[in-house]
Structure 1
Amino acid sequence: MTNPARTITTGFHEGELAVQRKAGVTQDAARLTGMLAPARLRGGATRFLAERTFAAITARDADGTLWTSPLAGPPGFLHVASPTALDVRALPAAGDPLQRLPEHQPVGLIIVEFATRRRLRINGTLSHTGSDGLRIDVEQAYGNCPQYIQNRHLHSAPAADRTTGPVRSGHALTQDDIGLVRRADTFLIGTTHPTRGTDASHRGGPPGFVRVENGELWWPDYWGNNMFNTLGNLQTDPTAALLFCDFATGHTLHLSGRATLEWTETGIPGDDDSTGRRVHFTPEQFVAGRLLPLRAGSVTAAPDNPPLTDQPSAP
């Protein structure tokens, strides 16, 4: 696999700046530039990582296709080896599109604690892949606000429920796949930039906030921190990877394809948070199975979820 040239710099890149300008939030975003400084994992970040059991990684497979995959383990599976190195003592499950994860490539990691509505993003380079896990050389690490994170308590799946079962792959979504998407209140999205590397991020909302029409997906953008890391990446490279998890059953749906940012009139049906922005995603490949070894029996909706302003259309 050929890796693009990397430029380790600070500040927002041209895609992020373009979206910030069009959204009219350049000054607000500029106040957050310091969050993008080179990372040093220590103190609170080290403690947060040591207690987590769930993360998602965005990377490319051996064919160069971008995917976002779940990673899970007991507390301690995310271990800070140094202020600039993170050991992940877990690997993607058998059948996962990133099961054979090539090293020496840019990766993005999103770590979410749903019970306390906290998250941390880590971007860097996958410097080693071994039989016992991964090492990530960390270049960026910063927290995000609790907005749109649904409250749920994850636990290990019962022993009788830990087999992954059959894994499907293909190009056209089935009705089961569409149903999983339409029920989802959460998904993870991976994007990339030609020189700045790869990023993984969280999206949440009420069930139905991701619409499926004619085999393609779209969702409204919500108000956030105005950094526009994800949308900025899509401004420069439409490659995207989505991960949907059914936390009740462990079923997962990985999607790899292309996404575009669309600007609409504010307040039209489907513009649930009145931003005038939506993302349209065209899946090109999918992998579906039961690849999440964690479960959650109940969920409490995030208090800031905006209500749906339309009804999903039939496929």
Structure 2
Amino acid sequence: MAKSSTHEGEQAIQRQAGEGGSGWGSPMFGPEIPRGFVPFLRDQRFLVLGGADDDGAVWSSIVDGPTGFARPVDERTVVIDALPTYGDPLREAFRAELNERDIGVLALQPQTRRRIRMNGIARRDGERLVMRTEQVLGNCPKYLQTRIIRETAPAGAGPVATGEALGEDQRRWIEDADTFFIASLSPEHGADSSHRGGMPGFVTVVNPRKIIWPDYTGNQFYMTLGNLHLNPAAGLLFLDWENGHTLQLTGWARTVSPPTGTHRDPRAQRMVEFDIAKVVQIAHASSLRWEFRAYSPVNPRPRADDNQPRRRAS
């Protein structure tokens, strides 16, 4: 089904913020992959995917592989030689070949603080995904922390734990995070995969089934918030960079603007509250092990910055 060329959700958020006008929104981004993006995509070691399962729950997921595992084969087709690991809800969503689904893909290179977003349709082809792009754009490096790959571990995920609320270790994981990924989906406009970053502590666990974070000034496209305005279903992914573990949350998000309440951040344009429906934790879901180098220079500093990340035990 052809997607709408006007994103009413994005324009609604832009109006709330007093920015842009009726011509603003994602239609400025075309479906073709610019030639300058091709070497960057071929150089990727991991991608963050966003999509929905059969029940409409939205999930954020990760795939990785050697250089070249993601490759554009023409101006609108990308082949990804990987699937989400076993136990990941998006692997199950793509269980059937030729079953096309909306997908958002974030190509992120922490070592250079570069990122590209691709939104479109994907289908499974054996042990790979084939994506047809409908929207491709580059993003600025705001709130991206610098990391380098330390090593690649043997493939194979470990135990999978599921629940409907956060445990104490998961709560600490989230509150120590400087980065997470968010997937959103509007049925009329497709899926999107994006990133949120800040200093450790920028995400607050309100209780075992609710978290909240500040929405700092970004690129003013409001692709994530625009989707959420039309459909509050969202998926979050927290990555244990040092050990390759993943923590996936699905639920519903809503914005609070201007920021109010106990957990408000005066430097944010708005706060985003997220109610948790399900939690999936997978040990060693990613084969990559990363070494932290530096926080983004534009991260708002909520406390004294010693430029050292808090680390999770393996």
Normalized against structure 2, the TM-score is what?
A: 0.89
Give 1:264's aligned residue. 258
Tell me the matched-pair count.
298
- Is 2:221 aligned against 1:217? no
Q: Give the CA deviation at 1:158.
A: 3.0
Aligned to 2:311: none
Pick from 156, 160, 171 the counterpart of residue 164 of structure 2: 171
- Asked if the contact 1:62–1:101 (Cα under 8 Å) also holds between the matched residues in 2, the reply is yes
Deviates more, 1:61-70 or 1:207-216: 61-70
- In structure 2, do the counterparts of structure 1 residues 32 and 44 end up closer, same or farther at CA, with 3 Å as the change threshold? farther
Return the TM-score normalized by structure 1: 0.88
Partner of residue 279, structure 2? 286
Partner of 2:102: 106
Query: Following superposition, which runs of at least 4 residues in structure 1 exceed 4 angstroms of deviation?
Result: 29-34, 265-269
Residue 96 (structure 1) aligned with residue 120 (structure 2): no
- Amino-acid identity (%): 37
Tell me, yes or no, if the aligned pair for 2:145 and 2:294 is still in contact at 8 Å.
yes
Match of 1:200 in 2: 193
Structure 1 residues 213 and 266: alpha-carbon distance in aligned structure 2, compared to 1, 3 A threshold: closer
Q: Give 1:268 deviation, angstroms.
A: 8.5
Deviation at 1:64, TM superposition (A): 3.5
Change (3 A) 1:134 1:76: same
Say if 2:186 and 2:230, in contact at 8 Å, map to a contact too: yes
- CA 1:87–1:265 in 2, change beyond 3 Å: closer, same or farther? closer
More off after superposition, 53-62 vs 132-141: 53-62
**Paired residue type of 1:179:** R
- In structure 2, what is the equivalent of residue 255 of structure 1? 249
Q: Using a 3 Å threshold, how does the CA distance of structure 1 residues 268 and 61 change in structure 2: closer, same or farther?
A: closer
1:29-68 superposed matches below 5 A? 35-37=28-30, 39-68=31-60
- CA distance in 2 between partners of 1:36 and 1:204 (Å): 24
Q: Among residues 145, 148, 165, which one is paired with 1:150 in the alignment?
A: 145
Aligned counterpart in structure 2 of residue 231 of structure 1, from 225, 228, 231: 225
Superposed displacement of residue 51, structure 1: 0.4
**In 1, distance between residues paired with 2:226 and 2:25?**
15
2:3 matched to 1:8? yes
For 1:261-289, what per-residue CA distance to the aligned partner results, in whole angstroms no more than 9, with x for missing partners?
111358986325242x0100001011002
Q: Distance in 2 between matches of 1:283 and 1:303?
A: 31
Partner of 2:117: 121
Change beyond 3 A, Cα 1:34–1:285 = closer
Aligned residue in 2 for 1:130: 125
Change (3 A) 1:254 1:274: closer
Q: Do 2:59 and 2:90's aligned partners in 1 also have CA atoms closer than 8 Å?
A: yes
Offset at 1:297? 2.1
Aligned match for 2:76, one of 84, 108, 113: 84
Structure 2 residue runs of 5 or longer lacking an equivalent are 304-314
Residue type of the partner of 2:106? I
| Alignment counterpart, residue 134 of structure 2, candidates 116, 135, 139 | 139
Matched residue type, 1:36? F
> Are residues 8 and 63 of structure 1, via their aligned partners in 2, closer, same or farther at CA, if it must alter by over 3 Å?
closer
Name the amino acid aligned to 1:282: D
Partners of 2:177 and 2:196 in 1: CA distance = 10
Query: How far 1:99 sits from its partner (Å)?
Result: 1.9
Partner of 2:64: 72
2:224 counterpart SS class: helix
* 1:265–1:286 Cα change, 3 Å: closer
Q: 1:109, CA displacement in angstroms? A: 0.6
* Structure 1 segments unaligned to the other structure (5+ residues): 1-5, 310-315
Q: CA deviation at 1:156?
A: 4.3
Q: CA deviation at 1:8?
A: 2.4
Per-residue CA distance 1:174-201 (angstroms, 9 max, x = gap): 0111111111111110011121111111
2:3 and 2:75 mapped to 1: Cα distance? 17
Distance, in Å, in 1 between the alignment partners of 2:129 and 2:45 is: 15
Would you say the 8 A contact 1:234–1:260 is kept in 2? yes
Distance 2:190 2:141 in 1: 24
Q: For the Cα contact (< 8 Å) 1:101–1:129, is it kept in 2?
A: no
